[in-house]
Amino acid sequence: MKKCTIIGKTNVGKTLFLINFAGYLGLKFLDISLCDDKKILKKYKLSINQAIYELVNDQTHKTRCLQSIIVDVPMGKGKKKLQLIDTVGLIDGIHSNIEIRKAISHTLTIVRVSDIILHIVDAASAGRDELPSSMGEVDYQLAQFAQLKRGYAILANKMDLPDAKEGLDKIKSEFSGNLIIPISALHKKGFKEVRTFVAHNI
Ligand SMILES: Nc1nc2c(ncn2[C@@H]2O[C@H](COP(=O)(O)OP(=O)(O)OP(=O)(O)O)[C@@H](O)[C@H]2O)c(=O)[nH]1
Ligand SMILES: [Mg+2]
């Protein structure tokens, strides 16, 4: 089964995107596997609403472990299974907490073996130059590495917020030459375009 990894700085909306995109693809419940880069550590099931309540918030590094689910992606008359992997938020520089450093290292390992990389950038923070979510050095490094792969797209998230349009213009000029899809993980906007991109790359 192919792997699609959701990556980006902390607090940009990776986990909310995973959950709402899974819901958009038809899942009512999520069978979530917590894992490091080699093995599954724990499995559990949550409804979409429970998952949002328990796994998403605006504190940085809410997600501290890779978490993955299996989704069916419609392809023509059929569908294909895909592993969607939510990762630990990246930061510019080195984190002081060793657990987060380890989890970031697992995240980078998974990116190397992923077929599809969805790089989420917070367009609203980019518009306001607001740290820590605003795009930074780690986004440029990630784009340089990931654009060598066929299945790489940048998702400009939080397009529902003020300043996101200015942010999107900045993202387009900084990452020109890449596919950039504006989305709102909160309002499930732009998901059709993401689904089409994913289906083309499975
Ligand atoms: N307005 C708005 N808020 C969003 C959107 N996507 C995410 N958020 C909010 O942004 C905050 C962070 O969302 P998460 O999904 O936890 O972000 P994350 O990238 O997984 O963060 P870490 O796990 O800490 O790295 C939460 O308060 C979300 O509700 C969006 O499209 N619009
Ligand atoms: Mg998260």
Partners of 72 in the beta sheet?
81
pLDDT at residue 134, rounded to an integer:
82
User: Which of 5, 10, 53, 56 for mutating ligand 1's site (highest number of atoms within 8 Å of CB)?
Assistant: 56
Q: Give the whole-angstrom CA distance, residue 36 versus residue 105.
A: 9
Q: Whose CA is nearest to atom 2 of ligand 1?
A: 158
Protein residue whose Cα sits closest to atom 6 of ligand 1: 13
Helix, strand, coil in percent for the chain, rounding step 5: 35, 30, 35
Instruction: Establish how many alpha carbons lie within 13 A of residue 16's alpha carbon, considering only the half-sphere containing its beta carbon.
Output: 20
- Burial label for 156, CB within 10 Å (0-12, 13-18, 19+), is buried
User: Is the C-beta atom of 185 inside 6 A of ligand 1?
Assistant: yes
Res 96 pLDDT > 90: no
pLDDT of residue 131: 78
Of 147, 149, 148, nearest in space to 180 by CA: 147
CB 123 within 8 A of CB 182: yes
Q: Quick one: pLDDT band at residue 5, thresholds 50, 70, 90?
A: very high
* For residue 149, pLDDT beyond 90: no
Could you tell me if 93 and 122 are in contact, meaning their C-beta atoms sit under 8 angstroms apart? no
Instruction: Output the CA 16–ligand 1 centroid distance in Å.
Output: 6
- Looking at the domain that runs over 2-200, which CATH code has it been given? 3.40.50.300
Kindly write down the DSSP assignment for every residue of 50-116, as one continuous string. Answer: HHHHHH--SSTT---SEEEEEEEEEETTEEEEEEEEE-PPB-SS--S-HHHHHHHHHHHHHHHT-SE
Q: For position 189, what pLDDT does the model report?
A: 98
- In short, whether 14's Cβ falls inside 6 Å of ligand 1 is yes
- pLDDT tens column, 99-116: 889 988 888 899 999 999
C-alpha–C-alpha distance, residues 106 and 86, integer Å: 11
C-alpha 77 to ligand 1 mean position (Å): 33
Residue-wise pLDDT tens digits, 8-66: 999 999 999 999 999 999 999 999 999 887 788 899 999 999 999 999 999 999 999 99
Q: What is the pLDDT of residue 182?
A: 98
Q: Is the CB of 60 under 6 A from ligand 1?
A: yes
- Looking at residue 130, its pLDDT comes to 81
Ligand 1 pocket: which of 62, 95, 120, 165 to mutate (most atoms within 8 A of CB): 62
Does the CB atom of residue 89 touch ligand 1 within 6 A?
yes
Q: What is the pLDDT of residues 67-92, one digit of tens each?
A: 999 999 988 889 999 999 999 999 88
Helix, coil or strand: residue 29: strand
Residue 139's pLDDT band (boundaries 50, 70, 90)? very high
For residue 183, which of 67, 140, 167 has the smallest C-alpha distance?
Answer: 167
Higher pLDDT pick, 144 / 36: 144
* Spatial separation of the C-alpha atoms in residues 82 and 107, rounded to whole Å: 18
* 132 pLDDT higher than 80: no
Contact 120, 155 (CB under 8 A): yes
Q: Is the CB of 95 under 6 A from ligand 1?
A: no
